Structure 1
Amino acid sequence: MPTPTADELPRRFADFQTIGEALDYAACGVRGLNFHDPRGVLTRPYPFRELREDAIAAAYRLIAHGVKPADRVALIAETVPEFAALFFGIVYAGAWPVPLPLPTSFGGRDSYIDQLGVQLKSSDPVLLLFPAELMSMAGAAAEAAGIEGLDWEGFATLPTPEASLPAAAPGDIAYLQYSSGSTRFPHGVAVTHQALLNNLAAHSHGMEVCETDRCVSWLPWYHDMGLVGCLLSPVANQVSTDYLKTEDFARRPLAWLDLISRNQGTTLSYSPTFGYDICARRISSQTNIAERFDLSRWRVAGNGADMIRPDVMQSFVDAFADAGFNASSFLPSYGLAEATLAVSIMPPGEGIVVELVEERLLAGGAESERDRPQRYRAIVNCGRPARDMEIAIRDEDGQELADRQIGKVHVRGPSVMVGYFRDEEATKACLDADSWLDTGDMGYMSDGYIYIVGRAKDMIIINGRNLWPQDIEWAVEQIPGFKAGDIAAFSITTPGGEETPAVLVQCRTSDTEERGRLRDAIRERVRAITGMNCVVELVPPRTLPRTSSGKLSRAKARNLYLSGEIQPYDIAA
């Protein structure tokens, strides 16, 4: 039987000193985590009490193995009980867990090993723990990094002598969070216990969590929304949660909705826009929606992690209205790992709210452009600041802007990171002396609500995956004939409304056949590191724009390309 939704244990909303203390309390009740197979059949109920027992045993093993407080222990973030127990075991041992991604997001074995190697070098762990089936890849990455690698089964056989567990303080680091796009230029976000618990309390407050709430999730645990929002939050707020593995969702997306329907108490579930999109697309006209699904109790259908597309949300409503889904259940939000997770949350029941904004304003257009035909884009309201969070919109000179003026989004609050791990320069670049974090995102405030209009630090976000343009550009630079500054990577929206990576490459050869060969080589190289197809355009030398300091301006390159001012070479397909 799955762990129950209700519990006689009085609910506490993340009002703990540390995440270990939160698990100690949750273990006094009967709620817990529940793991399901690809068809949504329960395979392992995992009460918080059992999770705590396994985590303490893991902590004893780690301490006996020589792991000390503040050591980093990396672990592959598979959605299974072993990962949850190891994560909390590392916390109980006073060390810092470092969740790392699964290979499904990368273009092959070598790319995945390379990805792990870069993050291992950045986090400098004493140990890498991984599922046995990843031995060939994770083991190779550990060996290349010069650290010990152990599969979970091997780790479980280590001696478990009881030991004194170190007492964590609220200001201690709880874990390191890497973005799923942190490949060549990783930034490990250092999150303290007090920052984490503050953000988790803001979750429960913003979503108005109540006694009858239950959660379903397929989000990966190496991403902040999956780890913080759908593993650590259920522990700190004592919410029974049901899980599908991310790869199982990818193969059978409707299993997510089947699980919500089958578990009648389910009221909370989050997804990036693409999750709703793929479910709406998978429904055929022959499917009897009302008989198969019951989504009437789903009161918080959260949306975050990528740009929210109102047309997709409407398609989902149209597809599942007969199953009882209510459009007002949509709950847009905005967040980032540097703020632990949540920055803003839409009040429950308000649904998707959009404003139409002139595209020239979104692109930083000048007054002289007013004579051009006006085009508008629908911008989604991402809610009010999460509890204890401040949001300010500033211009390039740091001056705060008035309502409905577009500028850079800055945030400040107790859950903002203390910094990037061992990267003081990157920390100073985004975190000022008054603890304001420059998110790099563009947006505006309107009557106390935040609207996000642009990407963070040029980040490309496709189907909930973060891709740093520098990684794509670096990959292309490895092809003979190209160098740094020749390539600009960014995202574009296709005529069908979907986002895709685009790469502009300055090409010096005049031979048409050679250009075609280079374009194909670039496509294959980008696919190898991202697992995605992309648009590749070869452009003349000295085409890509620069900032006043001589740096590549991706934002301007994107605007010039979309406006037609950058004309690529015409190459036959």
Structure 2
Amino acid sequence: MGNILTLAEGLIKSAASNCERGIFLINGEDKEEFISYKQLYIGSLKILYNLQREGLKPGDELIIQIKDTDNKLFVYIFWACILGKIIPVPVSVTHRENAFKVLKIFRQLKNPKAIVNERCLEDLKKFVIGTSFENTLQEIDESSISVDTITKENGIGKIEVIGQEDIAFIQFSSGSTGDPKGVVLTHKNLVTNIGDIIEGFRGTEKDSAYSWMPLTHDMGIIGLHMLPLILNINQYLMPTSLFVKNPVLWIKKINEHRVTITAASNFGFRYFLDKLKDTIYTDWNLSCIRKLFNGAEPIAVDIINEFLYKLSPYHLKRDAMYTVYGMADASLAVAFPPVDEEFSCIYVRRDSLNIGNQVIELKANEESDISMELVVEGYSVKHCNIRIVDDNRNVLEEGRLGNIQISGDNVTKEYYNNPELTEKIISKDGWLSTGDLGFIKDGRIVVVGRSRDVITINGVTYYPHYIEKKCEDIEGISTGRIVACALKDRFIKEDKLIIFLLFKRKIEDFIDFAEGVKTVIEEKININVDEVIPVRSIPKTTSGKIQRFKLIDKYRKGEFQEHIHKVAEVMERKIIDTIVSRD
């Protein structure tokens, strides 16, 4: 990376390189377009000229909400902002939930402009009419800059003087825990973390990167777009919507272009495996893949083992699976395992996973209904610090479960325009509370789960993914299709256990399915299920993380009452039929 201090310097350096490297836009099986970093630099300056003509100045905010089928336009606008010291605010475009997300974000900004596709604006209008967001939508409409305006060939924009502590962009959280929060990332945060990532996986000019993740997601934009650009290696960007249509194309293209670095989440691995089926690809040789980053929450061991097994005939190495820990608040990376090791797991007693407790480790052959399998993510990256604290922020020794906190040059110092949230999450001496629970083993972090997702019944702590995994032996259930949630009771400290199941068939067919889930949980975990509810979709973030809080919020608002009543009616008829048949 040399002496690069800002992202702008990284782009200028790669653009000036004699190497013809850049971005391959994968828009279909046989549709590819190449943009060199030099072309990206010049094209971004042209867009910057038009942005500056529209009155945008250093420090102004620009919301970018563009469909992923136009990643080319997105990267030009994004880098135009970086060069002009304008603050880009990327927002994903998918469904109704993101319509309200962009409106909430707009309200949090100071005086933003917006570049939103006309189709996106029309979609927003459909969702917002008759809600409290109508006025906000009108403000977005009035502040919008058309794509035609910024893509005209008018001139070359002025590059601003940029410092390390200047805001590079605002990464609004994907919303796995509630309203989006604006993570302020400076050039120093990003350049530091990118350097640590490159050092961590031993990146070189011989590498190349492939991504299907959204450019609005931290892994998509930092790990698989900014990093390749600064390292000056080729990168391949595939629209997430194309991955959803044809996930096998991801690996096909990696094989074709001999790509060395890629990434996926639980959702991505599972989705790919479901579509792979038993087809044999005789031309695949995946020995080119050096590292496959997996920072899912939590990492599903069964899925990655199945992925490695299914692709082992194509020479995918086991040590290519790189199980890491990261988050937007840390720019991206927090902890990496040693680059030359296979991923490792440990088994622990589930009943020892309470804050402050010494975590009791079991041998692999002691696996039982009281054991829980966890992935060891690794050591903190060079400029990031990790510690474990109890609920009173007392530092805990190695081996004890607690709240994970981080600090360092890669970690955000504030949440945009939100001093209350900043004070709540980041201590005065710079330690940020991640919201995750975990412990240190031999100097390496082991993440157990999100603290807000913990379920407490009869004084015992349970983790949703543990409950969900126990049900995956039931036919029709796999990761991402069952969600265990705690319903916090307002009057007693005990949680109610609510299970949501992805189910699109008739309610009559649901009864046995639901009873099977209840039986497994009662027999294997020894807790009662309060309700099992069929849902036709499960809310997830752009990276595939389940948004449990949204399901509980809908439950509290009574949005599942119709389903609950139907299940009760069918169950009642079934009981009556059973009694009648006995008589």
TM-score bracket for this pair, using the shorter chain length: 0.7 to 0.9
Query: How far apart are 1:459 and its partner, in Å?
Result: 10
Distance 2:177 2:437 in 1: 24
| Partner Cα distance (1:529, 1:183) in 2 | 10
Of the candidates 388, 393, 400, which is equivalent to residue 395 of structure 2? 400
The answer to whether structure 1 residue 498 and structure 2 residue 479 are counterparts is yes
Quote the residue 2:10 is aligned against: 22
Q: Go from structure 1 to structure 2 and tell me whether the alpha carbon gap of 1:190 and 1:355 turns closer, same or farther (over 3 Å shift).
A: same
Q: Which residue, 45, 50, 53 being the options, matches 2:42?
A: 53
Aligned residue type for 2:107: K
1:453 match: secondary structure: strand
1:380 is matched with 375
Matched, 1:134 2:120: yes
Partner residue, 1:273: 266
The answer for the alignment partner of 2:508 in structure 1 is none
Q: 1:164 to 1:263 in 2, by over 3 A?
A: closer
8 Å CA contact 1:199, 1:341 repeated in 2 = yes
**Which of 105, 112, 117 is the aligned partner of 1:119?**
105
Query: Are 1:502 and 1:536, in contact at CA under 8 Å, matched by a contact in 2?
Result: no
Retained in 2: the 8 A contact 1:330–1:349? no
Is 2:292 aligned against 1:301?
yes
* CA deviations over 1:445-468 (Å, ceiling 9, x no partner): 1112111001165499xxxxxxxx
Distance 1:19 1:507 in 2: 48
Query: What is the CA–CA distance in structure 1 between the aligned matches of 2:489 and 2:413, rounded to whole Å?
Result: 39
1:423 aligns with 2:418: yes
Within the candidate set 437, 443, 446, 1:442 is matched to: 437
**Offset at 1:243?**
1.5
- Residues of 1 paired with 2:538 and 2:262: CA distance? 33
TM-score (norm 2): 0.75
Which of 210, 217, 234 in structure 2 is aligned with 1:216? Answer: 210
Instruction: Say what the alpha-carbon RMSD is for the aligned residues.
Output: 3.6
Give the drift of 1:343: 0.3
Equivalent residue runs for 1:159-174 within 5 Å: 160-162=154-156, 164-174=158-168
CA contact (8 A) 2:50 2:149 kept: no
Query: 1:31 pairs with 21, 28, 45, which one?
Result: 21
1:123 Cα deviation after fit: 2.5
Among 170, 185, 194, the alignment partner of 2:188 is 194
Structure-1 separation of matches of 2:56 and 2:299: 42
In 2, the alpha carbon distance for the partners of 1:453 and 1:218 equals 27
Answer whether contact 1:27 1:52 (CA < 8 A) is retained: yes
SS of 2:373's partner is strand
State the secondary structure of the residue aligned to 1:301.
strand
Partner of 1:391: 386
> 1:155, 1:457 → 2: CA distance?
43
Matched AA of 1:176 = I
CA change 1:337–1:65 in 2 (3 A) is same
Q: Distance in 2 between matches of 1:298 and 1:61?
A: 41
Equivalent of 1:354, from 329, 345, 358?
A: 345
- 1:44 is matched with 33
Aligned to 1:5: none
| 1:38 to partner: Cα distance | 3.0
Structure 1: 4+ residue segments shifted above 3 A:
138-142, 144-147, 159-164, 363-367, 456-460, 489-492, 499-508, 519-538, 568-573
Q: Return the alpha-carbon distance in structure 1 between the equivalents of residues 453 and 533 of structure 2.
A: 24
Cα deviation for residue 283 of structure 1 reads 2.5
Any idea what SS the aligned residue of 1:454 has? strand
Tell whether 2:265 aligns with 1:246: no
Kindly provide the CA deviation profile for residues 278-320 of structure 1, in whole angstroms up to 9, marking residues without a partner as x: 22232323x224x042211101011014211111111011101
- The one-letter code of the counterpart of 1:129 is I
Aligned residues: 484
Distance 2:387 2:488 in 1: 36
1:315 equivalent to 2:296? Answer: no
Matched, 1:227 2:221: yes
Return the offset for 1:572: 4.6
State the secondary structure of the residue aligned to 1:381.
strand
Alignment partner for residue 149 of structure 1, among 133, 140, 144?
Answer: 144
C-alpha distance in 2, partners of 1:437/1:327? 33
Instruction: Note the 1:471-510 alignment, pairs <5 A.
Output: 493=468, 495-496=471-472, 498-499=479-480, 500-502=482-484, 504=487
TM-score by length of 1: 0.77
* 2:78 equivalent to 1:87: yes
Deviation for aligned residue 1:195: 0.7
State the distance in 2 between where 1:101 and 1:43 align: 23
Whole-Å separation in 2 of the counterparts to 1:58 and 1:224: 23
Mapped to 1, the partners of 2:101 and 2:48 lie a distance apart of 27
Q: Equivalents in 2 of 1:297, 1:527: separation in Å?
A: 35
After superposition, residues 322-341 of structure 1 pair within 5 angstroms as 322-341=313-332
Which SS does the other structure have where 1:382 is aligned? strand
Shift in alpha-carbon separation, 1:16–1:292, aligned structure 2, 3 A: same
Residues 354 and 401 in structure 2, CA contact (< 8 A), matched pair in contact too: no
Give the secondary structure class of the aligned counterpart of 2:227.
Answer: helix
Structure 1 contact 301–331 (Cα < 8 Å) conserved: yes
Using the alignment, how far apart are the partners of 2:532 and 2:302 within structure 1? 33
**Offset, 1:428:** 0.9
* Shift of residue 437, structure 1, vs aligned partner: 1.0
**Identity within the alignment, %:** 22
User: Shift of residue 130 of structure 1?
Assistant: 2.7
User: Comparing 521-530 with 242-251, which one deviates more in the overlay?
Assistant: 521-530
Whether the 8 Å CA contact 1:20–1:92 is kept in 2: the answer is: yes
1:418 partner SS: coil
SS in 2 for 1:403: coil
Structure 1: state its 5+ residue gaps: 1-11, 461-488, 509-515, 542-567
For residues 551 and 212 of structure 2, what CA distance do their matches in structure 1 show? 32
Q: How far does residue 60 in structure 1 lie from its aligned partner after superposition?
A: 1.2
**Once the 2 structures are TM-superposed, how far is the Cα of residue 160 of structure 1 from its aligned partner?**
3.3
Aligned to 2:568: 571
**CA shift in 2, pair 1:490/1:171, >3 Å:** same
CA distance in structure 1 between the partners assigned to 2:49 and 2:551 by the alignment: 52
Query: Which amino acid in structure 2 is aligned with residue 259 of structure 1?
Result: K
Once residues 114 and 449 of structure 2 are traced to their aligned partners in structure 1, the CA distance between those partners, rounded to angstroms, is 36
2:80 is paired with a residue whose SS is helix
Measure, in 1, the Cα distance between the counterparts of 2:177 and 2:396: 34
AA paired with 2:166? D
Amino acid at match of 1:169: G
Decide whether the 8 Å contact of 1:439 with 1:456 is kept in 2.
no
Work out which of the residue numbers 273, 277, 280 in structure 2 matches 1:288: 280
Per the TM alignment, residue 351 of structure 1 is displaced from its structure 2 partner at its CA by 2.2
1:178 counterpart = 2:172 = yes
Match of 1:493, SS state, is helix
Q: 2:394 is matched by which residue type in structure 1? A: Q
Give the CA deviation at 1:222.
Answer: 0.9
AA at the equivalent of 1:131: N
Q: Does 315-324 or 357-366 show the bigger shift?
A: 357-366
CA distance in 2, matches of 1:364, 1:260: 43
1:283–1:166 Cα change, 3 Å: closer
How far apart are the structure 2 equivalents of 1:21 and 1:366? 47
